């Protein structure tokens, strides 16, 4: 197979010789921030999940800055926030490591600046941070800003 000129990767061919479709060059018009959160040691997992789902989400969504800046807000659900040994073994077989957490939240906005503005807003600090202090160990949170380039979007 001939190697395309430098910087002309769209002309690489797949194993059957067919051209590879032109890949997207622009990130999504939205950015995301994923935060892995951990419960306070003195809070049960059940109490953590219940408060987060039923009370804290309403506090978060009720703030003016969130209504202005956040386009999407998602929390993890389900039974496997802690990775069991079967999944841990599967992931390790793929050459990776797993991460345990008590919950994860995904924020989506037009820019990281808009997300950042949420966290320094006076009402947000007064209402949301106060709520978080009831059930989250903020010092252990892991923040992962992401800006995806979509390759498949059905």
Residues, the chain, total? 154
Q: Are strands 142-146 and 72-75 parallel, antiparallel or unpaired?
A: unpaired
In the predicted structure, residue 122 carries a pLDDT above the cut 50: yes
* pLDDT tens, residue by residue, 9-49: 555 555 556 666 666 666 677 899 999 899 999 999 889 98
Question: What pLDDT does 72 receive?
Answer: 96
Tell me the pLDDT band of 2, cut-offs 50, 70 and 90: very low
**pLDDT number for residue 101:** 82
Residue carrying the six token digits 């050459």: 95
What is residue 77's predicted lDDT score, i.e. its pLDDT? 64
Residues 6+ apart with CB under 8 A from 132: 56, 138
Task: Tell me the whole-structure pTM to 2 decimals.
Answer: 0.73
pLDDT in tens, 126-141: 999 999 999 999 999 9
User: What per-residue confidence (pLDDT) applies to 94?
Assistant: 87
Residue 78 pLDDT: 46
Query: How does pLDDT run across 42-96, given as a tens digit for each residue?
Result: 999 889 989 999 999 999 999 999 999 999 999 986 444 555 677 778 878 888 7
Structural contact between residues 107 and 48, judged by C-beta atoms closer than 8 angstroms: no
**What is d(CA 132, CA 127) in angstroms, rounded to the nearest whole number?**
9
Break the chain into its structural domains and give their ranges: 27-144
Q: Tell me yes or no: is domain 27-144 CATH 3.40.50.970.
A: no
DSSP letter string, the chain: -PPPPTT-GGG-B-TTSPBPPPPP-S--SSEEEEEEE-B-TTS-HHHHHHHIIIIIHHHHHTSHHHHHH-SEEEE--SS-SSPPHHHHHHHHHTT------SEEEEEEES-HHHHHHHHH-HHHIIIIIHHHTTTB-GGG-EEEEE----S---
Beta bridge pairs of residue 27:
none
């Amino acid at each position: 197979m001939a190697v395309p000129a430098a910087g002309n990767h769209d002309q690489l061919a797949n194993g059957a010789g067919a051209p590879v479709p032109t890949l997207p060059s622009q990130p999504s018009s939205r950015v995301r921030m994923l935060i892995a959160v951990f419960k306070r040691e003195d809070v049960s997992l059940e109490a953590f999940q219940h408060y987060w789902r039923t009370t804290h989400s309403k506090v978060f969504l009720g703030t003016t800055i969130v209504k202005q800046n956040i386009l999407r807000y998602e929390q993890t659900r389900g039974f496997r926030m802690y990775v069991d040994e079967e999944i841990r073994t599967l992931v390790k077989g793929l050459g990776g490591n797993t991460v345990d957490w008590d919950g994860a939240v995904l924020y989506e906005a037009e820019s990281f600046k808009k997300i950042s503005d949420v966290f320094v807003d006076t009402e947000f600090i007064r209402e949301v941070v106060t709520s978080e202090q009831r059930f989250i160990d903020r010092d252990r949170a892991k923040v992962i800003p992401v800006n995806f380039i979509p390759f498949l979007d059905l």
